[in-house]
Chains A and B, each alone.
Chain A
Amino acid sequence: MGACLFQRQQRGMLLTPDAELGALFKRLWDPLEVEWTIFSRGRRAMEAIFNEPPDLLVVDNRLEDIKSAEVAAIVKSENVYRQMPVILCLDRDDFAHEWNWNEIEADDFLVRPFSDREARERVQLTLCRASRAMDANPLTKLPGNTSIISRIQDLIDRKDDFALAYCDLDYFKSFNDKYGFSRGDEVLMMTARVIVNTIRGFTGVRSFVGHVGGDDFVFIVPAKIAEEACRRVVEAFDGIVPHFYDEDDRDRGCIVSTDRQGVVRTFPLMALSIAVVFNTGGRLKHYGEASAIAMGLKKKAKENPKSCYVLDRRAE
């Protein structure tokens, strides 16, 4: 087999009365790759699913005590479980009627008879697809917190040298308060594109961009290009962001608003603050260290109302 597709061991759960099918699934993967828990009765499995949700659930339609569609419906109706991919295992006869895939929110199906190889690939595709879709930010579709943390921890574990940049917007709240959420979302979409394309502009290097949420973004680049990356991101952002204001505010260069106490306040145009933490010589042990250092730096970056970046000098 080629390189392992998964960063950690995957836990699969198979619900089938068919002992042969169970044996096949166990045989298809090294347990270090995908470890299977097999239940021959569906109802018995429900508690296990809820207590220890697997990475993948395969449900055989030959279950006698519960319909496979019903198992899928139960899992998918709960927000905390609905990300769990579900594959139904069907027989040709099951296609005598049409399946309503809006009601049965399964992710895929296998049809008997299938080859060993086909079952293996189908399951792996489903697992990969689920890990991709899992925590994308709903607005920008960039990888979210779970992916960001696992990417950082993975780099730390491998003792790779890298620079981790935390970006956020100054005065985003006052913009949102004046222009409303959908105009705020426009700015977040723009910011995401600026960061992604600027970072991708460095060819031949490994990089990563994620969206923590709200106006917080993260990018990871090799340490040696970190400062240049910050400089370019800030420059592009500062050039574009005035166009997201109405003409009068853009000309004035600030937002003027009256707070609840009736005091007139002015807020500068939005700016980008970036704090960069370096992992050189394997000095970081845990993701939490990186974010703690970054939060400290960010305070410093925020003292400047204009866009700016602060590099963690201790590393150099």
Chain B
Amino acid sequence: MDEDLKTSAKGQILSIRDLPTLPKVLDEVSRLVQNPNTSIEAIAKVISRDQVLSAKVLKMVNSPVYGFPGRISSIQHSLVLLGINVIRGVIISTSVFEIMSKNMQGLWEHSVGCSLATGLIARKAGLKDPEEFSVCGLLHDLGKVVAAVQLPELHKAVSEAVRERDLRWLEAEKAVLGFGHDRINSWLADHWHLPGTIKEAMSSHHRPERAQFYPQHAAAAHVGDFVVRVFEYGSGGDDQAVPLSEAALGILGLKLGDLDEVMDGFAENLAEVSSISFDSEDGASGKERA
């Protein structure tokens, strides 16, 4: 696709003002921040399950306003540095998807599943700071969410191409837009001054062997994406398995057999993760007003 479309799409993507999330986690966090006795740890735990809230918090703490752009990759640290007043402000100003909520649900489950898997892989590979890898997994498909909000027509076209032409999401994006969500991720990460580790996981999780600075982060997110798709938990927009890059395993110093243990760990923890239903209707019926 031509450069003009790319330039205008990039402008659209980066001009995002209001990135909505799903109501379930937002409600829970809203309740937590209203209670003055809530610990930062408790808030961090909940925000770490929501790609949009996590992205907002990381974007804010890494903005030049705070004076240390690109340094903070942990949700917990972000919350300590932002403080409860700012967190409250972020939560209050976050809206929820009015429409498309159903489509987004799968993407949210995919994201939180990938976060779990990526963290497990980092632990298995003996990497430092596995929490940071979890964040990498959580945000690896954020570009898809932003594209859905900012480029709704094109997003629909991608979705149709996936269905009608039996393409993987990334292939469909390339066919329709001329670039993928990996590129969108890279624009966002740069624009928001996110740390290099997270940026590289976001922009290179489909091609970890090409990662320039933090191949381990890109590789872990890649394998995490693979694992969550094997379990068919959530949806990255298509129902196809991603080809597993041998190079990614090599970068992590893992053998194919090591994934068994990761899969076991994933299966064990999935219950906890999948207990977070992103389904708002489900939630609404649970707390009917008297």
Contact = CB atoms under 8 A, between A and B. Distances in A.
A193 B72 contact: no
B83 A190 contact: no
A22 B10 CA distance: 62
**When A and B form their complex, which 3 residue pairs have the shortest distance between CB atoms, in order from nearest?**
A189-B67, A197-B83, A186-B68
B80 A197 contact: yes
B286 interface: no
Contacts of A200: 83-85
B77 A189 contact: no
B154 interface: no
Interface string B26-70: 000000000011001000000000000000000000000011100
B73 interface: yes
A240 interface: yes
B179 to A, nearest CB: 29
B150 to A, nearest CB: 30
Interface size bracket, A side:
20 to 34
B66 A240 contact: no
B247 interface: no
A197 B71 contact: no
Interface in A161-200: 185-187, 189-190, 193-194, 196-198, 200
Question: Interface size class for chain B?
Answer: 10 to 19
A201 B72 contact: no
Contacts of A281: none
B81 A185 contact: no
Contacts of A236: 77, 80
A271 to B, nearest CB: 17
B80 A194 contact: yes
A208 interface: no
Nearest to A193: B81
A27 interface: no
Given A185-B67, A189-B68, A239 B77 contact: yes
B84 A190 contact: no
A258 interface: no
A203 B35 CA distance: 11
Contacts of B77: 236, 239-240, 243
A109 interface: no
B84 A201 contact: yes
A236 B82 CA distance: 13
Contacts of B67: 139, 185-186, 189-190
A240 B80 contact: yes
Contacts of B195: 243
Interface string A219-260: 000000000000000001001100110000001000000000
A243 B81 contact: no
